[in-house]
Amino acid sequence: MGDVWSLYSEKVMEHFRNPRNVGEIENPDGIGHVGNPVCGDIMELYIKVDDSTITDAKFKTFGCGAAIATSSMVTEMVKGKSISEALDISNRAVAEALGGLPPIKMHCSVLAEEALKSAIENYHARSKRRDNGSKSNT
């Protein structure tokens, strides 16, 4: 039993126990919805973007402790980053920032990366719609 506890870094446990940025953003600029059909865990990630910079990020995760810790970390990592810098954040970078994850839990960090990418895609789709709307109004 002690061996299983030693699989998780202090940082993973800390973000699991005290996750940052939990919740929703009102009027977000992008929302990502992802899920893993194998384990059934789901994640929602909200971003606020100002002038191509992510100014805020929040999440809601129905999932395992590693999914909660990686969601928490990814929302911390993206704040203040440009959209293109945020797209470069890999699941490995998130796991490394948490002091590593056991191999059996690496897929949880993939969910965090996918949630971020999905929120950015949604941001682009919304901006396109906004641009088209403003063009047709002029």
CB count in 10 Å sphere of residue 79? 16
Tell me which residues in 95-114 interact with ligand FES (CB under 6 A).
Answer: 108, 111
Which position among 8, 34, 41, 113 is part of the footprint of ligand FES (CB under 6 A)?
A: 41
Q: Is 64 a residue of the active site?
A: no
Q: Are 4 and 102 in contact (CB under 8 A)?
A: no
Give, in order, the Cα–Cα distances in Å from 12 to each of 38, 48, 96: 22, 25, 10
Side-chain-side CA neighbours of 11 within 13 Å: the count stands at 11
With CB under 6 A as the contact rule, which of the stretches 36-44, 52-60, 119-127, 130-138 interacts with ligand FES?
36-44
36 binds ligand FES (CB under 6 A): yes
9 binds ligand FES (CB under 6 A): no
Binding site for ligand FES (CB under 6 A): 36, 39, 41, 63-64, 66-67, 108, 111
